[in-house]
Amino acid sequence: MEYVTLNNGVQMPLEGFGVFTIEDLDVCEQAVTDALHTGYRLIDTAAAYFNEEAVGAAIKKSGIPREELFITSKLWVQDAGYENAKKGIQTSLDKLGLDYMDLYLIHQPFNDYYGSWRAMEEAYAEGKIRAIGLSNFYPGRLTDLTMNAKVIPAVLQAEMHPFFQQTDAIENMKQFNIQPQAWAPLAKASDEILNNEQLKMIAENYYKTVPQVMLRWNTQRGVAVIPKSTNKERIEENFNIWDFSLTDEEMATITLLDQGHSQYIDHNSADSAKLFNDWKIHD
Ligand code: NAP
């Protein structure tokens, strides 16, 4: 396992475990338990995943010292704004059963995220969060918020995999020393990516799998990854990426696979703004 040092000095594992779509709390607790047993130390959840309690339960039962863990959660669109975000932060802490979170992100670039950021800056100053960041903010929004913030975001989490590489967005993050972290780093294990001939050929060179090559490629270019799985073997497979390196030629081959657009959603579209503002996670 490798770590990166964030722009505020906090150390973050370059690989973590994501729990999006694992809404069954027992299944989630078991998956996080398996991940922690495998060696993952970063767990990525969100208020909108409805499983912060299960993550908290697995952490507690693991017996792993709190300071060895790196726990991320995210503020949902409905809870944007200064007062709402203060409540949202406390709700996540309570559900996780923690005194502090290691990283807290604004989940989507919609609603009053400037108010949210002020609440997050305060919680950061109070020690309730060790690092604050953003998710799904594309370069224009990221630059604007960063230029008007007291605390520069430490992490930007966004879709990043071989079919959507976000090279320009990463360059923009680098200008502000913001660490990129990839969601859907396996491109959700679609048939198209798992059967890609170039990725399969590279995987064969190392007796590795296509998912392992995808994770290695992102981490090797300095992008953190948070693959999700509920299957113990695949959880282990995805963690087994630290004993090989891709050559410059293989990295260049993967660069050519970029399709230059999201496989799932355009956060700049009016439809996305409407969808996310309408998406309620509580009364
Ligand atoms: P992903 O990690 O790219 O892919 C997950 C899918 O791949 C699951 O269907 C999983 O199925 C399958 N899979 C996992 N390992 C595999 C392997 N070795 N071989 C074959 N299939 C494999 O997608 P994701 O869950 O969307 O993204 C990862 C994490 O990023 C999320 O869990 C969440 O924490 C975060 N995320 C954040 C945002 C955001 O807006 N900030 C959005 C999406 C995701 P099995 O479970 O059956 O193995």
Residue 211 in contact with ligand 1 by CB distance below 6 A: yes
Compute the C-alpha angle 1/138/258, nearest 5°.
65
214 neighbors 231 (Cβ within 8 angstroms) = no
153-177 pLDDT, tens digit per residue, is: 999 999 999 999 999 999 999 999 9
Question: Reduced to 3 states, what is the DSSP secondary structure of residue 195?
Answer: coil
Per-residue pLDDT at 1:
86
Q: Which atom of ligand 1 is nearest to the CA of 231?
A: 48
Among all residues, which ones are annotated catalytic? 49
Whether the predicted model's global pTM rises above the 0.95 cut: yes
Provide, rounded to the nearest whole percent, the portion of the chain with pLDDT above 90: 99
CATH fit for domain 3-278, picks 3.40.190.10, 3.40.640.10, 3.30.43.10, 3.20.20.100 = 3.20.20.100
Rounded Cα gap, residues 186 and 193, in angstroms: 8
For the chain, how big is the Rg over CA atoms in Å? 18
Q: Please give the distance, rounded to the nearest whole angstrom, from the Cα atom of residue 174 to the centre of ligand 1.
A: 25
Average pLDDT over residues 176-200: 98
From the CA of 186, give the closest atom in ligand 1. 3
Distance CA 227, CA 235 (A): 8
Determine the distance separating the centroid of ligand 1 and the alpha carbon of 273, expressed in angstroms.
Answer: 23
Q: Is 272 in the pocket of ligand 1 (CB under 6 A)?
A: no
